[in-house]
Amino acid sequence: MGILTNRSDHSTFADTKGQSIAYFPKATRNIKALQKPVQEALHPAYVLHTRNYRETSLIVEFFTAQHGRVSAVLRGARGKKNVAKARSKPNTGQYAQPFSPVLISWFGNGGLKTIQKIEPAATGLMLKGHRLFSGLYVNELLTRLITAQDPHPNLYQHYQTLLIELSGKDELEPLLRTFELLVLKEIGYGINFELANGEALEAELNYQFDQQHGFSLSKFQGNAQTRMDTFRGEQLIAIHGAQYSQPETTNAAKRLTRQALQPHLGNKPLKSRDLFG
């Protein structure tokens, strides 16, 4: 017959041969079984773009704070064939609208994930007219240029700010040009506003831009009409300082960013540019 001795975490029996046998209470043995599984973390994100997938689903491009761009299937987002089931579950497709801030979780190891949960994080912004077109243009840029699951926390914060600015009354051109320059920097192709040898740009001179080599002194000087790839020094200095008070500067910035973005966009045109007419 054993002798019982007590300890804080279990009881120990000493058998007749002097050997100890540990006995753990039932409640202690089942601690792991009683623990609740850890819930999947919800990640803040914005909806960039959606397209139909199969009969009832969507493929959604999200821009997340911690994981960059995430492509995922949102199942049942376009309704159910079974009306009873459709009434019992919320229509998640209502959350998958451009510019909508959401919280999402997903699963899957491949490039195309599957959304596990989606819920609104706040009320989405309502953009109209050219402000809507500008927002769609920015979303298309991010969808085309940001590598999947490559985090860009700084760009994510600027995107949030840009959406607020687009919903206000600020001039559109400076907002778009500033964001385009930031996107180029984030993907590793930021424009260096100086010559290849490190010399500063001079306001009264004209410069030629090449995507690979940057700026060089143009052979087209003076006040003559310059080519599309040639820029006045004073305009480049203003662009670098985000000073867009002069129309000439705004026009030059648009030419510059289009030339800088083109090699990364490829031959496929941006659909959102057609909306501007």
**DSSP codes joined into one string, 36-98:** PPPPPPPEEEEEEEEEEETTTEEEEEEEETTTEEEEEEETTTT--SSHHHHHHS--GGGG--T
Decide if 39-124 and 126-277 have a common fold: no
Cβ neighbour number for residue 68 with a 10 Å cutoff: 20
* Predicted confidence (pLDDT) per residue in 13-42, tens digit: 344 444 444 444 444 444 344 444 345 689
Helical (H) or strand (E) element with 57: strand 57-64
Domain ranges of the chain: 3-34, 39-124, 126-277
**What's the pLDDT at 80?**
58
Q: Does domain 126-277 have CATH number 1.20.1370.10?
A: no
The mean pLDDT value for 139-145 works out to 97
Q: Look at residue 275 in the predicted model and tell me its pLDDT.
A: 78
pLDDT band at 228 (very low <50, low <70, confident <90, very high): confident
Question: What per-residue confidence (pLDDT) applies to 229?
Answer: 83
pLDDT of residue 63: 98
Give the distance, in angstroms, between the CA of residue 10 and the centroid of all CA atoms in the same chain: 53
Tokens of 75: 């199942």
- Considering only residues 11 and 190, tell me which one the structure prediction assigns the higher pLDDT: 190
Q: Which CATH superfamily is domain 39-124 in?
A: Nucleic acid-binding proteins (2.40.50.140)
Rounded mean pLDDT of the chain? 84
